[in-house]
Structure 1
């Protein structure tokens, strides 16, 4: 009888252990991701879309890992610059001035230079900051946004308006983050490392 009871207890402990393992391997809503109230259907929204800002320090720190995340998820990420305040909107204009002329997402090196130029130290004058930003463009033989003509400004404004629309619909209030399938937002702070983020993205890609 005692042996039977002992076996029941051991079996119960085993079930609890298995359940715990299962729970920890499945990303939890509210902890690692959340649903977006309005599904994003814009062409800029890819199966996985990075949402960022050039004025965001954590975004700058995450940027070198985007290539690794793309490999871990077997996805080529889209990119959206948030516009939730005046500073972010100015930075968005600079980012989209590059994307518009390149007709693609800027490469990691250019993004790194844009992050650095936009976040030039407090001791710098506005002229010095402008010169740093212009250098990123002119060194690649593309036009600085400070020198856009009226047609280019109108085209740039269309890019900005799309970013504003996406930011408002998704109600972004913090970056960096990732949007998966236009339905789910990854909560970066709930993850311990790049592999953990990739696991959540891969999980969400399989969701309806």
Structure 2
């Protein structure tokens, strides 16, 4: 989201920037967050969920920020892959094919491999791109989506429908972003560092 991720990465080099924000920071609707047009809590997404796409370069950079955010929040951040265009839909199939087999979101190493397979092979032929994606699965002892049986395909289809419903009902048009309590979208561009972001998220978690 614009230059916010880059600013965060640079801020990690100076702890004062992480912990030295103004004590007067108060999240404001329209500046640090918005209320979603629909309550997405019915889809049982995590209380704090990153909305992302494997096709998004800023989302890839965000991966190195997430551990700091989780530490500040003292809780895990979930993930929802968007499906707002054809490229994102194809990438969502890749992500959820891994997630459903693991029973949880992929770890940092696998996420890096998935981002690389999607983003670093755009100059390859479709066949070569598919081979690169399948290699990530086999290297991690996972079944490639192309080898799924009927039950696995149905499970994947169900997860993709939920992701599409979240994308459409939440009117998610840009990533990365965060959904809090299924009701609020964080405006990442309205924050200067990880401490402010964590403060906004905690504020929204306790907002009634």
Q: Which has the higher contact order (CA 8 A, sep 6+)?
A: 2
Q: Residue 87 of structure 1: SS of its match in structure 2? A: helix
| Residue in 2 that maps onto 1:17 | none
Confirm or deny that 1:169 pairs with 2:183. no
Confirm or deny that 1:206 pairs with 2:172. no
Is the 2:82–2:167 Cα contact (8 Å) retained in structure 1?
Answer: yes
Q: Using the alignment, how far apart are the partners of 2:47 and 2:92 within structure 1?
A: 22
1:139–1:80 Cα change, 3 Å: same
| Residue in 1 that maps onto 2:67 | 67
Mark the runs of 5 or more structure 2 residues left unpaired by the alignment: 1-20
Point out the structure with max Rg over C-alpha. 1
Q: CA-atom RMSD, angstroms? A: 1.7
Confirm or deny that 1:183 pairs with 2:183. yes
CA apart distance, 1:199: 1.8
Mark the runs of 5 or more structure 1 residues left unpaired by the alignment: 1-20
Structure-2-length-normalised TM-score: 0.85
1:43–1:165 Cα change, 3 Å: closer
Q: Using the alignment, how far apart are the partners of 1:174 and 1:90 within structure 2?
A: 17
| Residue in 1 that maps onto 2:8 | none
Is the 1:180–1:204 Cα contact (8 Å) retained in structure 2?
Answer: yes
CA apart distance, 1:146: 1.9
Q: Using the alignment, how far apart are the partners of 1:25 and 1:91 within structure 2?
A: 37
Q: Using the alignment, how far apart are the partners of 2:132 and 2:206 within structure 1?
A: 43
| Residue in 1 that maps onto 2:132 | 132
Per-residue CA distance 1:147-195 (angstroms, 9 max, x = gap): 2222221211111001111111101000101111111100111122222
| Residue in 1 that maps onto 2:145 | 145
Aligned pairs for 1:1-208 within 5 A: 24-208=24-208
CA apart distance, 1:86: 1.0
Is the 2:43–2:162 Cα contact (8 Å) retained in structure 1?
Answer: no
Is the 1:50–1:176 Cα contact (8 Å) retained in structure 2?
Answer: yes
Higher helix content, 1 or 2: 1
Q: Which moved more, 1:148-157 or 1:32-41?
A: 148-157
Q: Which moved more, 1:95-104 or 1:115-124?
A: 115-124
